Chains A and B, each alone.
Chain A
Amino acid sequence: MNHARSNRRRSPHHWSQSLRRRLSLQTWLLRHAQVAFDSLGRLYRSWVSSLMTAAVLGIALAMPASMYLLLDNLDRLSGSWDGQASLSVFLKAGVSEDAARTLANKVGNWPEIAAVTLITPAEALEEFGQHSGFADVLGALDKNPLPVVLLVTPGPGYSDALSAGKLQEKFRALAETELAQLDLEWVQRLAAMLDIARRGIEVISALLALAVLLVVGNTIRLEIQNRREEIVVTKLIGATNSFIRRPFLYSGIWYGVFGAGVAWLMVEISFWLLTGPVQQLTGLYQSNFTLQTLPLQLLLMLLGSGTILGLLGSWLAVGRHLSAIEPT
């Protein structure tokens, strides 16, 4: 447009027309919408190959998306256990039941503790016998070998891994404590494993993003080759590079969008297939955990990365191949 204006100085008559049709934002948007629509129509006309490309992109995008979703669910799973974190404090053999009761009352007043249950050696023995069938063996012993146990449930604000760990330390510091066992340890391990998995998924995501880029780039390259004659002719009659580039960039964007759409479908379907078995499994554990499908945030991320990767892929192809086509 700058150029047009500088020419107007040389031939005012001709370029006064160009001034009149100088683009307003509205016509600019309209033209972009038109090109976007044309590109869509072009994809539709060869819908079989378009669909196949979208499917390939969909698979590449669905893999990281479903892995993130799986991770998300595992995260929530480990999170849902947090509320049930508990501490088993085994007291030293020398601590009497009365002393234990005093201790239980004392720690029951700690702010981070919701409840303390005292299990006497006799109760423990009975329960142990009921469950394990060792009653006879235990009955043969002349002395109850079991210690007093305090079952500690942390209060609402103290049930996360960190606070529960601190509480464990506090109990370990007590003179009466033989062993303070945190039932949260496996949750912590799971969290650590999830961290590793997250790192791994990031790497895989990057690789698959590269794959999307290459697929789109190659598809656009072929399209450029197929429309070589058209590019030559439009260049001959005064098309700028950006004019020629535009439909290809929109094709890339559409591929990305449709790829993301296919990926979304794939993820939804596979998680829908998993819902039944997972419900059965968690039912066994009396957990009310339900498998979460793609949340809006992840869906938007999927759509966004599809669009951006599509645009980027076509941009790379266009940059490399369009300038090589010059009319002679």
Chain B
Amino acid sequence: MIRFDNVSKRYPGGFEALGNVSFQLERGAQAFLTGHSGAGKSTLLKLVAMIERPTRGQVFVDGQNVSRLSRRRIPFLRRKIGFIFQNHHLLFDRTVFDNVALPLIIAGYRHQEIGRRARAALDKVGLLSKERLYPITLSGGEQQRVGIARAVVNKPLLLLADEPTGNLDPELSREIMNLFALFNQVGVTVLIASHDIALIEQLNHPVITLDHGHLLNPAGLSA
């Protein structure tokens, strides 16, 4: 589902966030992405969704060389991906429901379908009762769960989560991880960037470890 071929990313300032990274994540797999702060986890996820473009190397998603994708086609790549952002990226002038419904509106679903799916997603993260509230009135953890609901509402092929449990207590973290596992069971490929070593060790999934932009365990995941 995801393949990196000798990918390097150098930011405009000249800082090399990723150096020569190669790995492959099979369709339907679930893996963790870990590493110290600044190791390049977010950068790697952004390269998958073409939020950033690689400086060198090639990125394949769903068999498609996305590093060659024209700007016009990037939206359609992103619709295949549910992205849970480290900084939520919620719209604060819209209700929780409207935030979650946004990917469905973008994709052009019918009105009734939007309501049904958005509520189902909110129900999964336990926020159905707060659908009419504005994100600003929610706790950090609740905002994060709105972000998660928005990422999964579109039933994406691929779920990318950047620190999805950063603001959650251990119990909620486990619940969210169970939710991801549930998606994984129905065929969604899941890649989770996380610091939470304890949580990662509880779950028996492959781990990609980054250190200063370099892969520490290249053998671990390569096909």
On A, residues with C-beta under 8 Å from B are 3-4, 7, 10-11, 14, 17-18, 21, 23, 27, 31, 229-230, 232-241, 243, 327-328
Point out the residues of chain A lying under 8 angstroms from B41, CB to CB: none
Closest to B90 in A: A233
A to B CB contacts below 8 Å, 8 in the list: A3-B76, A17-B155, A236-B89, A237-B79, A238-B76, A239-B75, A240-B106, A241-B75
Quick check: A234 and B62 within 8 Å, CB to CB? no
Assembled-state Cα–Cα distance A328/B9 (Å): 13
Option from B78, B79, B93, B157 in Cβ contact (under 8 Å) with A11: B157
Quick check: A31 and B108 within 8 Å, CB to CB? yes
Point out the residues of chain B lying under 8 angstroms from A328, CB to CB: 46, 51-52
Question: How many contacts between A and B, using CB within 8 angstroms?
Answer: 69
Main secondary structure of the interface of B (DSSP, over half): loop
Assembled-state Cα–Cα distance A328/B49 (Å): 11
| Binary CB contact string for chain B from 55 to 98 against chain A (1 if under 8 A, 0 otherwise) | 00000001110000000110111111101010001110100000
Distance in angstroms from B66 CB to nearest chain A CB is 12
* B interface residue count range (under 10 / 10 to 19 / 20 to 34 / 35 or more): 20 to 34
Residue among B64, B77, B81, B107 with most chain A CB within 10 A? B107
Option from B89, B103, B155, B157 in Cβ contact (under 8 Å) with A238: B103
Quick check: B76 and A234 within 8 Å, CB to CB? no
Quick check: A237 and B52 within 8 Å, CB to CB? no
Option from B46, B62, B73 in Cβ contact (under 8 Å) with A10: B62
Quick check: B80 and A14 within 8 Å, CB to CB? yes
Quick check: B85 and A236 within 8 Å, CB to CB? yes
Assembled-state Cα–Cα distance A235/B109 (Å): 17
B119 within 8 A of A: no
B128 within 8 A of A: no
Assembled-state Cα–Cα distance A328/B17 (Å): 14
